[in-house]
Amino acid sequence: MDKVTINSLRERAKANPKRIIFPEIKDERIKHAVEYIKREKIAIPLFLSSADAESYQKDIFANLLFEHKKKKGMTFEGARELMEDDLFYSAMMVRLGFADGLVVGAAHSTASVMRAVLECLDVDDRIKLITSCFLMVIPNCNYGQEGMLIFADCGVIPSPTSEQLAKIAIASSYFAQDILEISPRVAMLSFSSKGSASNADVEKVREAVEKARLLRNDIFIDGELQVDSAIVPEIASRKLKGSDVAGKANILIFPDLNSGNISYKLTERLASARAIGPILLGTVQPCCDLSRGCSVEDIIDCTAITVIRAQKKSLSNPLINLDKNYADTCF
Q: Given this model, what pLDDT does residue 50 score?
A: 55
At CA 86, angle to CA 34 and CA 69, rounded to 5?
130
Centre a 10 Å sphere on the Cβ of residue 254 and count the other Cβ atoms it contains.
Answer: 25
Distance of alpha carbon 133 from alpha carbon 144, whole angstroms: 15
The one-letter amino acid code at 239 reads K
Q: Given this model, what pLDDT does residue 127 score?
A: 87
Select from 129, 97, 126 the least CA-distant residue to 114. Answer: 129
Q: Given this model, what pLDDT does residue 329 score?
A: 33
Could you tell me which residues are beta bridge partners of residue 45?
A: 20
Summarize the confidence of residues 197-201 as an average pLDDT: 83
Q: Given this model, what pLDDT does residue 305 score?
A: 96
8 Å CB contact between 196 and 151? no
Where would I find the beta strands (DSSP E) of the chain? 19-22, 44-47, 101-104, 131-137, 148-152, 185-189, 220-225, 251-253, 274-281, 287-289
Structural domains for the chain? 1-122+290-314+325-331 (3.40.50.10950), 124-282 (3.40.50.10750)
Q: What are phi and psi of 139, to 5 degrees?
A: -70, 150
Q: Given this model, what pLDDT does residue 3 score?
A: 58
pLDDT tops 80 at residue 80: yes
pLDDT tops 90 at residue 311: yes
Judged by DSSP in three states, 268 sits in helix
pLDDT tops 80 at residue 317: no
pTM of the entire predicted model: 0.87
pLDDT tops 60 at residue 319: no
Using left for φ > 0, alpha for ψ between -120 and 50, and beta otherwise, residue 317 falls in beta
Give the sign of the dihedral formed by CA 205, CA 210, CA 213, CA 215. negative
Q: Given this model, what pLDDT does residue 262 score?
A: 96
* pLDDT band per the 50, 70, 90 thresholds, residue 4: low
CA–CA distance from 130 to each of 38, 220, 319 (Å)? 29, 22, 22
Distance of alpha carbon 78 from alpha carbon 197, whole angstroms: 50
Q: Poorest-confidence range of 47-56, 155-164, 218-227, 265-274?
A: 47-56
